[in-house]
C-alpha cells in the first residue's frame, strides 16, 4: 500500500523578490540625488558690441517705446506682443520697441521675450547690454522675377528647425549612451540578479511539480 505523500510547506523566494523591487528604487534614488537625468541646455544668441551699436546708430534708428521687465509681467508681455506684431505687419520703419531688463528680471521672462520675437517673425533685432531693440524692416519691393526662389536663412531657428531638432535628438542619444557607460556596473548587477531570480523561480517550480506527482 502506497503511503499518502505528505504535503510540503510552500517556500517563497522572498529575498529575490525583495531585490527585484528594492534595487531599482535604490538606483532611481541614487540617480535623483546625483542629477543623472538632469538635462542642461543653453540659448545661443549674439550680443552687439559697443562699436557695432554705435556704428549702426541703433539707438537713433527708431522712436522706441520702452518696455521694462523688473519681474514676470504677463500683461506687459501681452502688450509687447501686440506692439511687435503691429510693427511687423505694417513694416513700420519709424517706431520700434526697447525692452529693458534689470537685476530683478528672472530667467523665464527673458526666455519669454526671446520666444515672442521668434514667434512674431521679427527679422531685425539686437541685444546690447541690458536692452533688446526690436525693429521692423521696410516693405520689400515688388519684383518681376517669375521663377522660384529658395530661401535659406543661416542661424535662424525657425528656418532650420528640422536640422536643430535632429541635432537635439542626437545629443539626447549620446547623453543616454554616456549614462549607461557611467553606470554600467549597476545595470549589469541588476540584470544578473534578475536572471538569477528567474532561474531560481523556474527551478523551484520544477521541484514543486515533481514533488506533487
201 is a domain residue: no
Q: CA 102, CA 113: separation in Å to the nearest integer?
A: 14
The predicted-structure confidence for 10-24, as pLDDT tens digits, reads as follows: 555 555 566 667 777
Residue 209: pLDDT above 60? no
**Domain-located, residue 91:** yes
Residue 32 is predicted with a pLDDT of: 75
- The answer to whether residue 54 is domain-embedded is yes
In sequence order, the 6+-apart residues with CB closer than 8 A to the CB of 198 are none
Residue 98 maps to which CATH number? 3.30.1370
pLDDT tier at 1, thresholds 50, 70, 90:
very low
Query: Span 107-120, mean pLDDT?
Result: 88
pLDDT in tens, 35-80: 766 777 777 777 888 898 989 899 999 999 999 987 667 788 899 9
> What's the number of domains the chain is made of?
1
105 vs 16, more confident: 105
Sequence-separated (6 or more) residues with CB below 8 Å from residue 133? 58, 59, 62, 64, 96, 97, 98, 99, 125, 126, 127
Least confidently predicted of 75-89, 108-122, 186-200: 186-200
Percent of the chain with pLDDT over 90: 21
Residue 56: inside a domain: yes
Residue 119 lies in a domain: yes
Would you say residue 209 lies in a domain?
A: no
Domain that holds residue 101: 50-152
> What cell was used for 62?
527708431
In a domain, 79, yes or no: yes
pTM of the model: 0.54
DSSP 168: H
Per the CB < 8 A criterion, the answer to whether 108 and 74 are in contact is: no
pLDDT at 134: 94
How far is residue 85's CA from residue 171's CA, in Å, rounded to a whole number? 34
Task: Let me know if residue 134 belongs to a domain.
Answer: yes
Amino acid at each position: 500500500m502506497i503511503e499518502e505523500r505528505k504535503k510540503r510547506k510552500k517556500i517563497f523566494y522572498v529575498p529575490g523578490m525583495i531585490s527585484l523591487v528594492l534595487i531599482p528604487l535604490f538606483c532611481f534614488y541614487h540617480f535623483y540625488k546625483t542629477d543623472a537625468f538632469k538635462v542642461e541646455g543653453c540659448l545661443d544668441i549674439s550680443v552687439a558690441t559697443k562699436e557695432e551699436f554705435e556704428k549702426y546708430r541703433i539707438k537713433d534708428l527708431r522712436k522706441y517705446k520702452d518696455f521694462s521687465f523688473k519681474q514676470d509681467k504677463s500683461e506687459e508681455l501681452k502688450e509687447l506682443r501686440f506692439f511687435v506684431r503691429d510693427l511687423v505687419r505694417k513694416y513700420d520703419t519709424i517706431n520700434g520697441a526697447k525692452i529693458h531688463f534689470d537685476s530683478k528680471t528672472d530667467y523665464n521672462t527673458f526666455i519669454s521675450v526671446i520666444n515672442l520675437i521668434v514667434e512674431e517673425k521679427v527679422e531685425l533685432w539686437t541685444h546690447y547690454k541690458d536692452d533688446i531693440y526690436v525693429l521692423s524692416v521696410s516693405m520689400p519691393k515688388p519684383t518681376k522675377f517669375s521663377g522660384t526662389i529658395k530661401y535659406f536663412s543661416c542661424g535662424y531657428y525657425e528656418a532650420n528647425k528640422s536640422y536643430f531638432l535632429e541635432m537635439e535628438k542626437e545629443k539626447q542619444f549620446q547623453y543616454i549612451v554616456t549614462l549607461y557607460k557611467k553606470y554600467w556596473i549597476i545595470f549589469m548587477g541588476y540584470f544578473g540578479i534578475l536572471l538569477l531570480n528567474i532561474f531560481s523561480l523556474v527551478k523551484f517550480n520544477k521541484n514543486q511539480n515533481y514533488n506533487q506527482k
